[in-house]
Amino acid sequence: MALASLDRLSYWYPAGQSRVLDRVTLSISPGLTVLAGPSGGGKSTLLRVLNGLVPHFHGGRIAGSATVAGLDVLHTPTRRLARHVGFVFQDPERQAVYSTVEREVAFGLENLAVPSADMPARVEAALARAGASHLRERRLATLSGGERQRVAVAAALVLEPQIVALDEPTSQLDPEGVELVLEACRELAAAGTAVVIAEHRAAGLLDAGRLLLVDAGRLSAGSGRPYSVRPRPRARPHLEAWHLMGVSAGPAGRALLEGVGLAGGVGEVVALTGPNGGGKTTLLRCLAGLLPPLAGRVERRPGRVAYLPQDPAALLHRPTLREEVELTLRRAGEPARSAPILKRLGLGALSERYPRDLSSGERQRAALAAVLAGAPAIALLDEPTRGMDQRARGALAELLAEMREQGTAVVIATHDAELVAAVADRVVRVENGAARDQGAPAAATAVTLEPVPAELPA
């Protein structure tokens, strides 16, 4: 039984010349549907058709037809479709209205004027279905990323929708958080809800449902295939590029790191792993010189330090992507040639685009291009593959390998096991204020649609 069906649906964003969705025909039934495909391919747009955010919230031009729960999407406002389609967004912090779990989950019920007496039971049921009952009394600010996304899932479920759409809900989560959310999705699908999830990290969902590929606005059946990413052993470098000596550091005078001693060499890639809130970003900021240590000393080799913050939007403010890259190069006193790095990261065709108009994965690559352009002595990258598709991650892995050969010392804070396996020389786990050197990375399993990309070592 189809809960949603799209028939030759095409869509253009306002002022957009090309179709973001190109004659998409799709039928969604109870169970799990995974949307995969490159960044900017149309996954998020397709999800937004299901609850009418496209076209009602975003505007633009639409052709074809879409029906959800028997309602014509093109003529039914999102607030009515909200009764039938729950939606979970990428960033758990940017979708919360209230500050406590219970009220946050009840927000949708309040909007639909559900009688107050009925609400507590429905909130309880939604939290249970999302596996978040134990969080009911908590404040959102005290939750981990994975817990917050579970609350977001509960907030979507509380309206008892037939369809739940999730737009890259795990892109900012650590492995534990990812598993929490994916497990909730699997359970929902098993219970008869139609779960549609756009996700780059699809490995955990392959066996649970069908896989669809969305590329250039077109839809095709995908065939997910796991493959192994094996680390390439390298000799330890001799020259030291950076050194933390007994460093204690943290924001607002509170030490998140205690007495950390760590060093990295010229042309060495060090991956910092560990749970959200463990201190990876603090360590990177300390190394960048942005956060003075409370105790201990930080030493860096002379030269430019390239720093990628977690949020790519923190960097992007020039009218075009080309100018964004040229700004970095000009300030570094290097030739202002933006084309090579843009091409390397698959952004050549987007060089004259406004960076903030790009999709989340493209934005991430734009921010990477803006900081990695030229020849930095040290590159500090905080979650560099956030929201990036397989091909883009492969391109980044290649770029980092090249930078390593040229002598750049690279430090990456990441949850991406595949990237770690592909590029890291050494893994350091940062947790509970300590940094433990774990040596060479282990092999990781990645999932791809056919064929296996050549960029990642297979």
Partner 1 sequence: MSGRAVAAWSAACLLGVLLTTNPGYRALVLAACLASVLVGAGWRRARRLLAGVGVAVLAAVLLNFAFSHLGADALWALPDGWVLVGGPWTLEALVFGVASGLALAAAILAVAPLSLLLEPQQVVDALPAPLARTGAAAAASLNLVPGLGRSFMAISEAQRMRGWRPRGPASWAEVVVPAVLTAIEDSIQLAEAMEARGFGSGPRTRYRPTRATRADVLLFTAAGLSAVLLIAARALGQAADWQPYPYLTAPVLSALGVAACLPLFLPVWLWRSPR
Q: Which residues bind partner 1 (CB under 8 A)?
A: 51, 53, 57, 78-80, 82-83, 85-87, 89, 91, 93-100, 102-103, 106-116, 119-120, 123, 155-156, 159, 285, 288, 290, 305-307, 309-311, 313-317, 327-328, 331-332, 356, 370-371
CB closer to partner 1, 372 vs 400: 372
In the complex, the smallest distance separating the C-beta of residue 51 from partner 1, rounded to whole angstroms, is: 6
Least CB distance to partner 1 at residue 158 (A): 9
Q: Which residues contact 457 (CB under 8 A, 6 or more apart)?
A: 229, 230, 232, 422
Q: Which amino acid is at 252?
A: A
**Toward partner 1, which CB reaches closer, 152 or 396?**
152
CA distance 12 to 356: 18
Q: Are 85 and 108 within 8 A, CB to CB?
A: no
Q: Which DSSP category does 152 fall into? A: H
Nearer to partner 1, 22 or 311 (CB): 311
Q: Which is nearer to partner 1, 21 or 50 (CB)?
A: 50
Least distance from C-beta 371 to partner 1, angstroms? 7
- Judged by CB, which is closer to partner 1: 12, or 307? 307
CA distance 384 to 321: 18
Q: How far is the CB of 458 from partner 1 (least distance, A)?
A: 34
Reference 412, options 381, 372, 369, 444; nearest CA is 381
Which residue lies nearer to partner 1 by CB, 122 or 415? 122
Query: From the CB of 327, what's the least distance to partner 1, in Å?
Result: 7
Q: What angle do CA 395, 240, 258 make, to 5 degrees?
A: 90
- Rounded CA separation 150/182 (Å): 10
DSSP state, 273? E
Q: What angle do CA 351, 352, 353 make, to 5 degrees?
A: 95
Q: 106, 104, 44, 112: which is closest to 77 by C-alpha?
A: 112
Comparison of 118 and 352: residue with beta carbon closer to partner 1 = 118
Measured CA to CA, the distance from residue 267 to residue 7 in angstroms comes to 52
Are 2 and 163 in contact by the 8 Å Cβ rule? The answer is no
Shortest distance (Å) from residue 381 CB to partner 1: 12
Residue (324 or 418) nearer to partner 1, CB:
324
CA distance 325 to 455: 23
Q: How far is the CB of 119 from partner 1 (least distance, A)?
A: 5
Q: How far is the CB of 317 from partner 1 (least distance, A)?
A: 4
Residues in contact with 424: Cβ distance below 8 Å, sequence separation at least 6, in sequence order: 231, 269, 270, 271, 412, 440, 441
Residue 121: CA count within 13 A, CB half-sphere: 5
Burial 396-411 (b: 16+ CB within 10 A, else e): bbbbbbebbeebbbbb
At 151, the amino acid letter reads V
Shortest separation between residue 94's beta carbon and partner 1, angstroms? 5
Residue 443: alpha-carbon gap to chain centroid: 22
- Locate the DSSP E strands across 91-208: 163-167, 194-198
**Which residue, 90 or 390, is less far from partner 1 as judged by CB?**
90
CA distances from 149 to 98, 180, 197 (A): 14, 9, 13
What the block records as the tokens of 182 is: 């994916």
DSSP state of 37: -
Q: Which is nearer to partner 1, 53 or 262 (CB)?
A: 53
Nearest approach, Cβ of residue 318 and partner 1 (Å): 9
- Least distance in Å: CB of 279 to partner 1? 17
Let me know how many helices (H) and strands (E) the chain has, helices first: 12, 21
Is 212 or 371 the residue whose CB approaches partner 1 more closely?
371
Q: Kind of pairing, strands 240-249 and 257-265? A: antiparallel
- The CB-of-434 to partner 1 minimum distance in angstroms stands at 24
Nearest residue (CB) to partner 1, 63 versus 354: 354
